[in-house]
Structure 1
Amino acid sequence: MGWLLLYLHLLLFHFPSFSSSSSSSSFNFLCHHDENSALLQFKSTLYTDYDYYNPCDEPSLLKTSTWKNGTNCCSWHGVTCDTISGHVTGLNLGCEGLYGQVHPNSTIFHLSHLQTLNLSYNNFYDSHFHSKFGGFQNLTHLDLSSCNFQQGEVPPQISHLSKLTSLHLSGNDQLSWKESTLKSLVQNATVLEELYLDETDMSSINLNFMDLIFNQSSSLVTLSLQATRLKGNLKNNNLCLPSIQKLYMSYNLNLEGQLPKLSCSASLSILDLSSCRFQGSIPLSFSNLTHLTSLSLSQNRLNSSITYSLLNLQHLIHLDLSYNSLSSQLPDMFGGMTKLQEIYLTSNNFEGQIPSSLFNLTQLVRLDCSYNKLEGPIPNKTVVFQNLTYLSLSHNLLNGSVPSWCFALTPLKYLDLSYNQFIGNISAISSYSLETLSLCGNMLQGNISESIFNLANLTLLCLSSNNLSGVVNFQHFSKLQNLDSLSLSHNSQLSLNFESNVNYNFSQLTELDLSSLSLTRFPKLSGKLSSLEYLDLSNNKINGSVPNWLLETMDSSGFLNLSQNLFTSIDGISTNNYRLSNLDLSFNLLHGEASSSICNMSLLRILNLAHNELTGIIPQCLANLPRLEVLDLQMNKFHGTLPSNFSMDNELQTLNFYGNQLEGHLPMSLSKCTNLQVLNLGNNKIEDKFSDWLLTLPYLNVLILRNNKFHGPIVDIKDKPPFSSLFIFDISGNNFSGPLPKSYLKNYAAMMIVPQVGENRNLQYMDMHVLNYTQYYDSASVVTKGIKMTLVKIPTTFVSIDLSRNKFEGEILDVIGELHALKGLNLSHNRLTGDIPRSMGNLTNLESLDLSSNMLIGVIPAELINLNSLEVLNLSDNHLMGEIPQGKQFNTFSNDSYEGNVGLCGFPLSKKCGPEQHCPPSANKFWSEEKFGFGWKPVAIGYGCGFVIGIGLGYFVFLIGKPRWLVMIFGGQPKRRVKRKRTRVRRTNGSTMHQMVQMS
């Protein structure tokens, strides 16, 4: 009995109580030896990445650093023990930065008493999701989120965890579900409350059976199926479970149809159906979800007006309808939604004035109505939005003066009113918490308010594209020591005073935009810009040389735009400057040779020296810059040959040498530029054959070789598909010959699929997001619709083939009708023969078609009437005949489209068609073998002989002018005009022959 009392004494006074809910250094019993060993052995099989990015809310404690041999595992961080038995019941190693394999024989599976297991946000990239995880019979909480398990199915043994209340498997995008496994899990885990399966693969699950799978589970409170690749129509109410409170279904991009008409229980508080591509309107049934606090329907395709289906949602705190196509006037429906704190309506088509009820939401913290068509003034309220920290009304049609309350909200940190039609002066600003102030793109006038210089927390200030005036001492901006981005561009009446003898600096400034300010000299900023990464001085009147200090100031990711100035020299470029990434000196007056010292900038990604007067030879070293992605030297006076030493593994995406005087051949080393998207060598003097190694450039989108001295046939290649990414192919103005390359035309995959216009209906351009601060837009000079034009930005929808002004011969291939995305097709000034293919009627996106100056025969196919987008048609100077098709676009074309085809008749020509010209060739019974009982060959032979004799006799009659009556019948004249008409007969011989065939 004495030993028992001694034991109790030690237990009570030397070992304080141990909590079972968290790990602690205090404990009642020693950890079981086998569990202690199992944990240590499990640790020994894994490694710790100390540079691991920790996504968890709390910083990682590196819990396993406390796991040491000879110590009690119940005292280790991340380990929880039962207070009575001493068994390990909880293991929390989430966000520990562990990586390695979890084998089926891992000792972690020996911890049979585990109730909670958290291994989330570790990297078990070589491990499968083992069935042994289903062996923890006592588990109530299992979190294996973002463990990067190998590809495979979720094992059916997961359904054995019948005591689960919380299961997290999100972020394992290689795991896939079978219907039977998910159904068994939900049916067996009868107390399951939280189920997070985001990013796992549920594509094999039939949405029609979702209600059967969940079987109206009465316990589920939270269900998250975000980005699970579900597809099909979501049935109404098949996820309206009895106890459901939080339902997350966002980023299921293959869902389709209308928003489901949910009639969930009043308990539903959070509903997220964003980024699912639902269409139509918001169902009226949503008005029954009266307990909703958060509704997210953003990034869908909702395209009707907002009805009053949301009027009853008086508990809403968060409302997100952004990035849809919701239209009409924004309804005045916010009067009863007094609890709203966040409203996101950006990127829709809302019109009219901002509803007044919106300004009665006193709890509002964030409001974003940007990118709509809202108009009228902002109401001038005296007391409004006292809790507002974020306000964006940019890219609308708002007008009038900016009300003073916008600049007086105490908690406001973000204010964006850019790209509207505001006028007047900028009033005094007392919102001293402001971090972002964007007023650019308006019509604001007057001086820059002095109060701006008191906004000490400001990180971004944009006043560009206004009508600001007056003189500003640039040093005042240095008071804003947190300023990261400053834009004053496009204020032509604004004068900036740069004083060199004043001691100030911009320690945090990384972006400075002073473009289009009529500056005539370089700003005196030497030594004052220690962190500059982006400087735009374009479209000014600065002349002379580029100062060396400027280049040395720029950061390693620096962007320097000096385009559209009057610079004459780049001699100031330092041979020691290795940091600049983007240099734009286009549209200046640079002359002389391009020094090879520019190659010392080994970090260059974009080099744009286009539209200058540079001469000499292109420095060979430019081909070896390791990071160069864009080299634009178009419209200079470079001569000699192209660089011939392009290195392996280069990163070039654009090479534009258009409009120089380059000669010689295409260098074979260009084939090493496997990332090339744009190759523009037009308007030079390059003399070569068409190089088949061009086919090895898999990403080539634009190939322009126009107006050079290329020659010879383009040989069909059958062993590999050529140019599958190409959407602009221009080899016009050369000496190419032979037939059109069939294997090329039938493999233009990018030209066969009509590009989808973005959901905001704006044009998408071919651009290059090289740096964080700018985009380089590829440009090209093209001939389209009969007009030479420069595409400053190349739309991805501009799909064009120009093979004109060559010596191609033979027929136009039917396969060209499969290039459905074509907008421009020019085959003019060649030697093409045969008929116009009827398949061209499939090119319904075609806007310009030029087949002029060839030797095409036959009729104009009636199928071409289907070309509803056609704006320009040129079929002149061929040997076409018959009636011109009528209707649709063909009623808009003038005589010029058909001149030089003497056999054509009908509108718009003055020549009327006879009865025989109205008959299509297929109706001509002359060629019917059934009618005559013998084949067409004897007829053709006899007809051909007769035709030759007839032409000879006819020519003789016209030559001598007798008999006169016969000459007059066929439009002849007396003998004195024979010489002039002889030429006409020769010119129309071909079409006369075909007309005679039709008349027969």
Structure 2
Amino acid sequence: MKEERKCDLKRFSNLAFLLLNDNLLNGTIPSWCFSLPSLVNLYLSNNKFTGHIPAISSYSLQGLSLGGNKLQGNISESIFNLVNLTYLSLSSNNFSGSVNFSLFSKFQNLERLYLSNLGQLSLNFESSVNYSFSRLKALDLSSMGLTEFPKLRKVPVLKYLILSNNKLNGKVPNWLHEMDSLVVVDLAQNSLTTPVDQFSRNYQLRYLDLSYNLLTAGISSAICNASSLQNLELSNNKLTGTIPQCLASSFLSILNLEMNRLNGTLPNTFTKTRLEILNLKDNRLEGPLPESLSNCMQLEVLNLGNNQIEDTFPHWLPTLPYLKVLHGFPSLNIFDISSNNFSGPIPKDYMQSTSVLFKRIPTNFVSIDLSGNNFEGKIPNAIGELQALIGLNLSHNRLSGPIPQSMGNLINLESLDLSSNMLTGRIPTELVNMKFLEVLNLSYNNLVGEIPQGMQFGSFLNDSYEGNLGLCGVPLSVKCGEEHDQHSSETLWREEKFGFGWEAVAIGYGCGMVFGVVMGSFVFLMRKPEFLRKQGFR
């Protein structure tokens, strides 16, 4: 570059810090950046630099950050002459070729090394070498296509080890469990089969992520011996058995067991801990919610979707002041208890108590999903006060009575599913006010009368209304007329008198019978010895 020739390095001879990260700089990196005699820290990360790393002669460098660019070719050999480096980040570039990991051990003062997301670079380990980094505290080798663990026996102060999204398989090596200094271990998205309880010897460990692996068998209570553990991520594995009782009284802030094959009931020993997130979605848990969960006063996220939990709506949940996801109460974001066996009426008092605070929540981050349960009775009118809702799913329950007119106040709603209930009466014309509505499903109820027209309602097809024999008008082929109106009025009279019509009974009986047979077979299959068959994950 012509501008490089004009650069008078004498003017920058005392420059110690050059921080140009997080900009839109492009082209090749000017060579003078690597020649400043007093430079201590050079941060050029998260730009759009291309080309090769120039030769480096700034031997005073202690911090070098080139991550998040589009640099190419081999890693410059001159980097390995920077004996004073304490920080080196080369992550997220397009480097190619191969490099021996032993070269990085030349940096005897190195404390943090980031080499993640370098899929085109081959990192070679010598199986007979125990790599020595006497001061290394953080090592990130994620998304590198690694097929083996580096031997890091001589890394006495390592705290952060990130090896996620590689091709590691089998069990974790013993040297890792013998590292007393480890605080964070991230081994997610590999093919590991190591038992969870092996990490019980890492007494300083605070964060352990083994999600998206091939872990089987149960979770041993020995993991509770890792008494410093605050975040335990075991989602998307094949773990079986019950949840250890001791985890309920541990010091965990986050417990994520989503998408496994855990069964039995939830622990009933929850105490006043720091638990903030409890994710048990997509397992085979059953029984009621333990009332001891009400002791978890810091709880913000409780996800129980797609289990076999049987309970009435727990009266104690509104006492949790920070609950956002189940998701709940004063600061409700997502309320999801779908595909369980909750019964009884939808809690009207809960709806009313949260409606005011709902208005403070961003409109793009609110959803209620109560589908696939046994809720009965009417939809509370208070639902219309939750004007931040963008998604509402009450399908596959036993709800009866009319659709509340107040639901037309949900002007931000994008998805509404009330299908497979026993709802009666007419579709309120107020629903036309939902100008953002993209998905509507009112099928398989006992609704009558003419379908409202206007706004988004002109875009919905027959399948939004099928299974309602009393409906007429566009988009259905049934036209509204005097004979149809008389039939609808008689049907409506019967519904108002008896609560529901014979069609809803027939549909409910038929769906219930099919659902019962399917679920009965499902439960039977799950309890057979072959229940370890592969299950898909998100």
Equivalent position of 2:256 in the other structure: 632
SS of the residue corresponding to residue 383 of structure 2 reads helix
Equivalent position of 2:409 in the other structure: 842
Task: Return closer, same or farther for 1:803/1:596 CA change in 2, 3 Å cut-off.
Answer: closer
Contact 1:378 1:403 in 2 (8 A): no
Instruction: Determine if the alignment matches structure 1 residue 727 to structure 2 residue 333.
Output: yes
**Counterpart amino acid of 1:744?**
Y
Q: How does 1:547-586 map to 2 (within 5 A)?
A: 547-555=173-181, 558-570=183-195, 573=198, 576-586=201-211
Equivalent position of 1:645 in the other structure: 269
Task: Return closer, same or farther for 1:834/1:571 CA change in 2, 3 Å cut-off.
Answer: closer
Q: How does 1:439-588 map to 2 (within 5 A)?
A: 439-499=66-126, 505-527=132-154, 529-555=155-181, 558-570=183-195, 573=198, 576-588=201-213
| Shift in Å, 1:534 | 0.7
Distance, in Å, in 1 between the alignment partners of 2:266 and 2:341 is: 20
| Shift in Å, 1:910 | 4.8
Contact 2:377 2:401 in 1 (8 A): yes
Residue among 607, 620, 629 paired with 2:245: 620
**Counterpart amino acid of 1:607?**
L
CA RMSD of aligned residues (A): 3.4
Contact 1:548 1:572 in 2 (8 A): no
| Shift in Å, 1:501 | 5.3
Equivalent position of 1:401 in the other structure: 28
Instruction: Determine if the alignment matches structure 1 residue 885 to structure 2 residue 453.
Output: yes
| Shift in Å, 1:408 | 3.2
| Shift in Å, 1:465 | 1.7
| Shift in Å, 1:696 | 2.9
Contact 2:415 2:440 in 1 (8 A): yes
Structure 1, residues 426-455: CA drift from partner, whole Å, max 9, x if none?
A: 222233343432222233221111121223
Distance, in Å, in 1 between the alignment partners of 2:304 and 2:197 is: 29
Instruction: Determine if the alignment matches structure 1 residue 682 to structure 2 residue 311.
Output: no
Distance, in Å, in 2 between the alignment partners of 1:689 and 1:538 is: 40
Task: Return closer, same or farther for 1:740/1:756 CA change in 2, 3 Å cut-off.
Answer: closer
Distance, in Å, in 1 between the alignment partners of 2:118 and 2:217 is: 33
| Shift in Å, 1:850 | 1.0
Distance, in Å, in 1 between the alignment partners of 2:371 and 2:199 is: 46
Distance, in Å, in 2 between the alignment partners of 1:637 and 1:662 is: 9
Distance, in Å, in 2 between the alignment partners of 1:566 and 1:517 is: 14
Contact 2:307 2:340 in 1 (8 A): no
Q: How does 1:798-813 map to 2 (within 5 A)?
A: 798-813=365-380
Equivalent position of 1:825 in the other structure: 392
Distance, in Å, in 1 between the alignment partners of 2:161 and 2:406 is: 52
Structure 1, residues 835-882: CA drift from partner, whole Å, max 9, x if none?
A: 333322322222211122334344433433332332211122331422
Equivalent position of 2:288 in the other structure: 665
Task: Return closer, same or farther for 1:913/1:421 CA change in 2, 3 Å cut-off.
Answer: farther
| Shift in Å, 1:751 | 5.8
Structure 1, residues 144-169: CA drift from partner, whole Å, max 9, x if none?
A: xxxxxxxxxxxxxxxxxxxxxxxxxx
Residue among 728, 732, 741 paired with 2:347: 741
**Counterpart amino acid of 1:540?**
N
Q: How does 1:147-162 map to 2 (within 5 A)?
A: none
TM-score (norm 2): 0.81
Contact 2:72 2:94 in 1 (8 A): yes
**Counterpart amino acid of 1:497?**
N
SS of the residue corresponding to residue 178 of structure 2 reads helix
| Shift in Å, 1:893 | 2.6
Distance, in Å, in 2 between the alignment partners of 1:908 and 1:380 is: 70
Contact 1:751 1:799 in 2 (8 A): no
Contact 1:644 1:669 in 2 (8 A): yes
Distance, in Å, in 1 between the alignment partners of 2:110 and 2:35 is: 20
| Shift in Å, 1:655 | 1.9
| Shift in Å, 1:601 | 0.9
Contact 2:313 2:347 in 1 (8 A): no
Contact 1:624 1:646 in 2 (8 A): yes
**Counterpart amino acid of 1:660?**
N
**Counterpart amino acid of 1:588?**
N
Equivalent position of 2:229 in the other structure: 604
Greater RCO, 1 or 2 (C-alpha within 8 Å, sep 6+)? 2
Distance, in Å, in 2 between the alignment partners of 1:498 and 1:829 is: 55
Task: Return closer, same or farther for 1:853/1:598 CA change in 2, 3 Å cut-off.
Answer: closer
Distance, in Å, in 2 between the alignment partners of 1:504 and 1:876 is: 64
SS of the residue corresponding to residue 825 of structure 1 reads strand
Residue among 425, 441, 447 paired with 1:874: 441
Residue among 850, 856, 859 paired with 2:423: 856
State percent identity of aligned pairs. 58
Contact 2:130 2:151 in 1 (8 A): no
Distance, in Å, in 2 between the alignment partners of 1:515 and 1:607 is: 19
Distance, in Å, in 2 between the alignment partners of 1:461 and 1:622 is: 38
Distance, in Å, in 2 between the alignment partners of 1:702 and 1:612 is: 23
Contact 1:443 1:467 in 2 (8 A): yes
Equivalent position of 1:166 in the other structure: none
Q: How does 1:922-961 map to 2 (within 5 A)?
A: none
Distance, in Å, in 2 between the alignment partners of 1:443 and 1:912 is: 63
Equivalent position of 1:765 in the other structure: none
Contact 2:309 2:341 in 1 (8 A): no
| Shift in Å, 1:499 | 3.5
**Counterpart amino acid of 2:229?**
L
Structure 1, residues 673-705: CA drift from partner, whole Å, max 9, x if none?
A: 22122222333333333332333322221227x
Contact 2:309 2:340 in 1 (8 A): no
Distance, in Å, in 2 between the alignment partners of 1:989 and 1:641 is: 33
**Counterpart amino acid of 1:740?**
I
Distance, in Å, in 1 between the alignment partners of 2:58 and 2:460 is: 62
**Counterpart amino acid of 1:636?**
N
Equivalent position of 1:592 in the other structure: 217
Task: Return closer, same or farther for 1:740/1:425 CA change in 2, 3 Å cut-off.
Answer: same
Contact 2:117 2:143 in 1 (8 A): yes
| Shift in Å, 1:752 | 1.6
| Shift in Å, 1:743 | 0.2
Comparing 455-464 and 559-568, the one that deviates more: 455-464
Comparing 462-471 and 600-609, the one that deviates more: 462-471
| Shift in Å, 1:610 | 1.8
Contact 2:71 2:94 in 1 (8 A): yes
Structure 1, residues 71-123: CA drift from partner, whole Å, max 9, x if none?
A: xxxxxxxxxxxxxxxxxxxxxxxxxxxxxxxxxxxxxxxxxxxxxxxxxxxxx
TM-score (norm 1): 0.45
Task: Return closer, same or farther for 1:384/1:573 CA change in 2, 3 Å cut-off.
Answer: farther
Contact 1:547 1:573 in 2 (8 A): no
Structure 1, residues 706-752: CA drift from partner, whole Å, max 9, x if none?
A: xxxxxxxxxxxxxxxx9323322223334444433210111125862
Contact 1:808 1:832 in 2 (8 A): yes
SS of the residue corresponding to residue 593 of structure 1 reads coil
Structure label with greater radius of gyration? 1
**Counterpart amino acid of 1:739?**
P
SS of the residue corresponding to residue 591 of structure 1 reads coil
| Shift in Å, 1:916 | 12
Task: Return closer, same or farther for 1:595/1:749 CA change in 2, 3 Å cut-off.
Answer: same
Contact 1:545 1:571 in 2 (8 A): no
Distance, in Å, in 2 between the alignment partners of 1:738 and 1:571 is: 39
Contact 1:419 1:441 in 2 (8 A): yes
Q: How does 1:242-253 map to 2 (within 5 A)?
A: none
Task: Return closer, same or farther for 1:394/1:840 CA change in 2, 3 Å cut-off.
Answer: farther
Equivalent position of 2:65 in the other structure: 438
| Shift in Å, 1:574 | 5.9
